[in-house]
Structure 1
Amino acid sequence: MSQLVIREAAREDAPQILEFIKDLADYEKMSDEVVATVEDIEQTVFAEQPKAYCLIAEWEGQSAGFALYFYSYSTFLGKHGIYLEDLFVKPEFRGKRIGMTLLKRLSKIAVDNDCKRMDWSVLDWNKPAIEFYDSIGAKPQKEWLGYRLTGEALSKFAE
């Protein structure tokens, strides 16, 4: 039996997913930005018609990492894509190809669903992640700048 299992998350995984999110935020030095709750995860990822999906990685029965994603759309391609929102492997499980296996499974989901691309973001200081993404043939989108409207600015603009 393999030491690594990748599976679709279930509702009872919501507390673990939130823990992964907090661990990732801590790694990214953004802990103060996490306001999600277990209930938020349950109501979104596990809704009747979810808009986000999650894979859980288990190493020898222990929760080791996750990938949270959603479907996007390319007007240029006329096809869907997958946007990888979060990919995280706990430090004690790194070096076991868990991140690679999560990405491969997500790539298979994309191909099986006729998606034509997979996108994600990485912080510019995260050199290990950048080197990993470069090694699998991913290309940075340097000509595009990411923009975000959030919080009070989003509410004010919506008026």
Structure 2
Amino acid sequence: MAVDVRWATIEDAAALAAILCEMAEHYRQPPLDADRTLSAARKWLGEESPAYPHFALAFVDGEVSGLASVAIAHPGIDLERLLFLKDLFVRDNIRNAGVGRALIGFLADHCLSHGIGRIDLTTEDWNKGALRFYDRLGAERHGQKVFLRLSGEALKAAKS
């Protein structure tokens, strides 16, 4: 099975929207409104135009099968940029068929060819399949970091 991975463009907005809706369902989130999701995908892939593309999409037989949502962060104390992998998602019907591995390989190649020193990521402690996948890739677990979030009222309070 051939997996084609590429950076998403505005032409991929419908594919991105479809897989984002499926990802929300997979993670037991409230269903996303399809029109709102498509509008957001068009905005993200069109007018925002980040310095680095931020969605890699995997296709099998022309059908979107997985996504990686990423951001590039600039130097910290080690003076190396890093790629932060926010989400890696593969559709249920094609999981364990190499799509996730193809997405990670695409990102690793991008890092190596652009002087980006590492990929950082998080996953839920209950997501045993993801933990096994990252273990097989040789990902190191860093227990010294604590994942924190500012949202809702805390985000509003932080602006002042």
TM-score, L = length of structure 1: 0.87
Q: Which residue of 2 aligns with 1:49?
A: 49
* Residues 157/33 of structure 1: CA separation in 2 closer, same or farther (3 Å cut): farther
- Residue aligned with 2:30, SS: helix
Conserved 8 A contact 1:20-1:66 = yes
Q: Which residue of 2 aligns with 1:67?
A: 68
How far did residue 146 of structure 1 move? 0.7
Within 5 Å, give how 1:25-36 maps onto structure 2.
25-29=24-28, 31-32=29-30
How far did residue 48 of structure 1 move? 5.4
Q: Which residue of 2 aligns with 1:136?
A: 137
Q: Which amino acid aligns with 1:8?
A: W
Percent of aligned pairs sharing the same letter: 25
Q: Select between 11-20 and 114-123 the one with higher mean Cα deviation.
A: 11-20
* Residues 54/146 of structure 1: CA separation in 2 closer, same or farther (3 Å cut): same
**Number of equivalenced pairs:** 157
Q: Select between 121-130 and 43-52 the one with higher mean Cα deviation.
A: 43-52
Deviations 1:7-61 (A, max 9, x none): 22111222321332232222222x1396873333322343353165111111111
- Residue aligned with 1:26, SS: helix
- The yes-or-no answer on 1:16 pairing with 2:15 is yes
In structure 2, C-alpha distance between the alignment counterparts of 1:60 and 1:66, rounded to whole Å:
15
Q: Which residue of 1 aligns with 2:155?
A: 154
- Residue aligned with 2:88, SS: strand
- Residue aligned with 1:138, SS: coil
How far did residue 112 of structure 1 move? 1.1
* Residues 40/142 of structure 1: CA separation in 2 closer, same or farther (3 Å cut): same
Deviations 1:58-113 (A, max 9, x none): 11111111111110134121121101111111111122211001001101111111
In structure 1, C-alpha distance between the alignment counterparts of 2:147 and 2:130, rounded to whole Å:
18
- The yes-or-no answer on 1:115 pairing with 2:154 is no
Q: Which amino acid aligns with 1:107?
A: A
In structure 1, C-alpha distance between the alignment counterparts of 2:106 and 2:130, rounded to whole Å:
18
Q: Which residue of 2 aligns with 1:40?
A: 40
- Residue aligned with 2:74, SS: strand
Conserved 8 A contact 1:4-1:57 = yes
* Residues 48/125 of structure 1: CA separation in 2 closer, same or farther (3 Å cut): closer
Give structure 2 stretches of 5+ with no counterpart: none
Give structure 1 stretches of 5+ with no counterpart: none
How far did residue 139 of structure 1 move? 1.1
- Cα RMSD between the aligned structures? 2.1
